[in-house]
Each structure stands twice: as structure tokens, then as C-alpha cells.
Amino acid sequence: MATHKRAEFTEAEQRLAAIAKALGHPARVAIVRLLAQRRACVCGELVLELPLSQSTVSQHLKELKAAGLVQGEVDGPRVCYCLDPAGWAVARQLLGNLLAEMPTSVPDTAAVPSCC
């Protein structure tokens, strides 16, 4: 039965979860890092940098695109992938909000309430 009950949650919760999920795989973290370091479209070079096949990398890129973190533009025979600043602005916003709500350090007594 599964079939996700995602619809039962907030729009913001789903958006944040989608972004987090996109970053929830080491390969995709590595990809966005590579794209950021080069500050350029790495196209198929990603395949050379990663221990994955071309089709798998393409799939990961598709997910990052779906999450709005990466853009792909056709550039002749190859495809230029860039980070999408707008998507990262949303990510920064949502993740920042979440982190701001979370306990900041161990001596924060508020995180360990009396009932414990």
C-alpha cells in the first residue's frame, strides 16, 4: 500500500523535502559540487569525474533539474549544465528557516525539556 501520503503535508514541507531528497545521494552532492567548483557547464565531463555510467549520471542530473537546482542548456552536440541560482536561493531560504528552528548547541537546555 505505500503510495506516499505527501499530499497531506504543507507545501513548504514538500518543497523542502524535495530539495533535501535531491541532495540525499552522494553522487548528486558530488555533482553540484563539481558544477560549483568549475562554475561552468561540465557536460559529460561529470561522467569522467564520477564512478558512474553515463546513463546513471544523466538520471541524477534529471533529478537535480526536477528539484530546480540545476539547469541544462543544449550547446551544440553537448549539454551545458549549470547550477540554477534561483533554485539555490529557495534551498537556502527553506533550509535556513529549518536550521534556524533547530537547537544550536549542546548546552542549549531548551532542547532537553523536563519530561526527559
Partner DNA sequence: GTTTGCAATCGTAAATCTACGATAAACGAA
Partner DNA sequence: TTCGTTTATCGTAGATTTACGATTGCAAAC
The residue ranges that bind DNA (CB under 7 A) are 1-6, 21, 24-25, 27, 43-44, 47, 51-56, 58-63, 72, 74, 76-79
Contact indicator for 22, 63 with CB cutoff of 8 Å: yes
Is the CB of 66 or the CB of 104 nearer to DNA?
A: 66
Grid coordinates standing for 48?
569522467
Task: Name the residue among 67, 61, 59 with its Cα closest to residue 80.
Answer: 61
- Which of residues 44, 54, 62, 92 is near a second copy by CB under 8 A? 92
**Nearest Cα residue to 91 out of 69, 62, 111:** 69
Per-residue interface string for the shown chain with a second copy, residues 33-72, x marking contact by CB under 8 A = x--xxxxxx---------xx--------------------
The neighbour count for residue 22, using CB atoms within 10 Å, is 22
Residue 41 backbone phi and psi in degrees, to 5: -80, 125
Q: Which residues bind a second copy (CB under 8 A)?
A: 5-6, 8-10, 13-14, 16-18, 20-30, 32-33, 36-41, 51-52, 73, 75, 80, 82-86, 88-89, 91-92, 95, 98-99, 101-106, 108, 110-113, 115-116
